Amino acid sequence: MRRIAAVSVNHNTSLYMELMLRSLFATHTALDNLGLNLTVLDNRSEDDTSSLRAYAAGVGVPILPSGFTTHTRHNSHGEVLRRFVLDHPAATHYLFLDADVVFHQDDTLDTLANDLDSSPDDVFAAAPRVGHAHNGEEVTDKDNIYERRLHPLCALIRNTPTLRRVAEHIGFSCARFLWPDRDQYLDTNELMTIVMRTHGMRYVRSSPMVLHFFGVSYDLYGETYLQNKAKTRDRLLAGYGGRVGLVDERRSV
């Protein structure tokens, strides 16, 4: 029987997280039968978390402190995932979910789980196809963002001794290679994916598609970029019964 320990991290992304949860519960008919137990870990977010907390409480999803804030020197996402894995040794699988994904196809996670369970032993994880949140079109991965690593936006992972050793000794955090003539940045899960390959382990791409906003947790592209994303988020949130017209006011610290 599957016991899927699922986790998502809130980092000033409360309305995106609410959308993710609403879409998850709207498109899956039997999460309990899937064996899924979801926890939201919060980086002491400074946006308005009230609507998210109300919805999460209604569907039985706990929101717990991650142990980090939104003001760490570097991205804490990978370390939060690592600690979660090490804290849940009895799970048969782990599911990493980004706050800014949207489920829009029925029983996506069931398909991922069935595909992973029917895969050979050298497959350690399954991931969906990825679409743009603003129009639903499949991502043309010209920069190899979703292929070079097991992206944590929606990653179902087998709990194996190898995975747990990698979690303990390598972790899932970002890293940087210092080659003789260049730097190479490795994003969350990327070094882990490389290390798993050295053990002969790979991941598979499943047929369902999830939508992804990309780049909303950190202010990488400016305010206009975030505002445009928020408009799409609010439109989708309204479609799943969420309140609209909310403002992402972040409290000063």
Judged by average pLDDT, the poorest of 18-22, 62-66, 135-139, 153-157 is 135-139
CA distance 250 to 37: 29
Is residue 38 situated within a structural domain? yes
pLDDT digits (tens, 9 = 90+) for 119-172: 999 999 999 999 999 888 998 877 677 888 999 999 999 999 999 999 999 999
Is residue 248 situated within a structural domain? no
Structural domains counted in the chain: 1
Tell me the CATH number at 227. Answer: 3.90.550.10
Is residue 168 situated within a structural domain? yes
Give kind and range of the element (H or E) at residue 64. Answer: strand 63-65
Is residue 82 situated within a structural domain? yes
Boundaries of domain holding 59: 4-239
Is residue 250 situated within a structural domain? no
Is residue 96 situated within a structural domain? yes
Check: pTM over 0.85? Answer yes or no. Answer: yes
Angle, vertex CA 67, rays to CA 58 and CA 38, nearest 5 = 35
Give backbone dihedrals phi and psi of 220, rounded to 5 degrees, phi first: -95, -25
Is residue 247 situated within a structural domain? no
